[in-house]
Chains A and B, each alone.
Chain A
Amino acid sequence: QIQLVQSGPELKKPGETVKISCKASDYTFTDYSMHWVKQAPGKGLKWMGWINTETGEPTYADDFKGRFAFSLETSASTAYLQINNLKNEDTATYLCSRRDDGFAYWGQGTLVTVSA
């Protein structure tokens, strides 16, 4: 069955970099764009942007321009989210979701904790 499996939790220090993966299975990876969502502890869901899995072109929401980067490894059906120069406020669970009609499929989430 269709699955999005994300990498495990990360503990980082401020200023470090983290790269999270989202591996897709059981569908043609390039048929659907991959979207990323942030959920800070105890907070709601916030759209970060997406990456066109055919072209590799990323699109970022305004709050996520600069330190955030979406990328692909198409041969491995995997999308990545990299966050550079981590800040305390980046502590959150990051979720990937396939763009179909309604966003029916989600990864399990990756908790990133930023702490000195």
Chain B
Amino acid sequence: DIKMTQSPSSMYASLGERVTITCKASQDINSYLSWFQQKPGKSPKTLIYRANRLVDGVPSRFSGSGSGQDYSLSISSLEYEDMGIYYCLQYDEFPTFGGGTKLEIK
């Protein structure tokens, strides 16, 4: 199985700050990577698919990049509503999630 190593596991950031979360796959996943945001008691919300494609309706402050084994999610200017837990998911082979990043406002 492909292992996804996500970092950091938690972070505090200030409103307006640029935030970056990374995921490293144990092998090349050919950009088959999604990013999700999850809020308490809710199901995951898909933000990015195929590493860098923004889901319709997701604010443009979210962006994804990367290739091969290394991927990142960026939020250009943090807003209060961006608090939550973020997960990456590879779906090149049997899907596997990263461990999650809990994002809190400083």
Question: Which residues of A are in contact with B by a Cβ distance under 8 Å?
Answer: 35, 44-47, 59, 61, 95, 99, 101-104, 106-109
Contact = CB atoms under 8 A, between A and B. Distances in A.
Nearest to A101: B49
Contacts of A107: 43
Interface of B: 34, 38, 42-46, 48-50, 53, 55, 87, 89, 91, 94-97, 99-100
A103 B91 contact: yes
B99 A44 contact: yes
Closest 6 CB pairs of A and B: A102-B49, A106-B43, A102-B34, A45-B97, A47-B95, A44-B100
B73 to A, nearest CB: 13
A71 to B, nearest CB: 20
B53 A46 contact: no
A76 B95 CA distance: 27
Name the residue among A99, A106, A108 with the largest chain B CB count within 10 angstroms. A106
18 contacts: A45-B44, A45-B89, A45-B97, A47-B96, A47-B97, A61-B94, A95-B43, A99-B91, A101-B49, A101-B50, A102-B46, A102-B49, A102-B91, A103-B34, A103-B49, A104-B55, A106-B45, A109-B43
B100 A103 contact: no
Contact of A102 (B43, B55, B94, B97): B55
A8 to B, nearest CB: 14
